[in-house]
Structure 1
């Protein structure tokens, strides 16, 4: 597995995917996020917007935009994930 941005001194990067079960756009986004994360060495976390403990304010904000991706907690994209744009965001986050 090629890890382009995991080098000494690089800041850790986490890509968060906010989605829900049964969402075809979420499935597409998940594939892209996992592929790019595998290439770059970024960590991936997934949050289910339908979970009872999901933050109500974020649920209200994100509900009509899922899937939503965040890079190190900052909103990156919604509905569709462009792999090249995500790679660039991860690289920028890794540089700090």
Structure 2
């Protein structure tokens, strides 16, 4: 069976100051909750670029967009508490 994808996905790009702040928030919350996370750059994926280029950073939890431009720690924690992995 393939490995499960992390519940938390951050979409951004290198050199983005908002992405740096979001990355710090995501890393802190993930460490607190024991969740794995992954970051994808819009520079490496044309589909992500087309979908999100005006809104980075974008936070997805369980495939659902939770935030963009600013990752709110409380919203992120609430999304993680709500979501369930099958």
Considering the TM-score relative to the shorter chain, is it more than 0.5?
yes
Q: Which runs of 5+ in 1 are unaligned?
A: 1-11
User: CA 1:94–1:41 in 2, change beyond 3 Å: closer, same or farther?
Assistant: farther
- Native 8 Å contact 2:14 2:41 kept in 1: yes
Aligned counterparts of 1:92 and 1:17: Cα–Cα separation in 2: 18
Larger radius of gyration: 1
Report SS of the residue matched to 1:77: strand
The structure 1 segments of at least 4 consecutive aligned residues displaced by more than 3 Å after TM superposition are none
> Does residue 18 of structure 1 match 2:8?
no
Looking at both structures, which has the greater relative contact order when contacts are Cα pairs under 8 Å and sequence separation is at least 6?
A: 1
Q: Summarize the alignment of residues 7-46 of structure 1 with structure 2, pairs less than 5 Å apart.
A: 14-46=7-39
TM-score using structure 2 length: 0.86
Distance in 1 separating the partners of 2:47 and 2:21: 25
TM-score normalised by L of structure 1 = 0.77
RMSD: 1.8
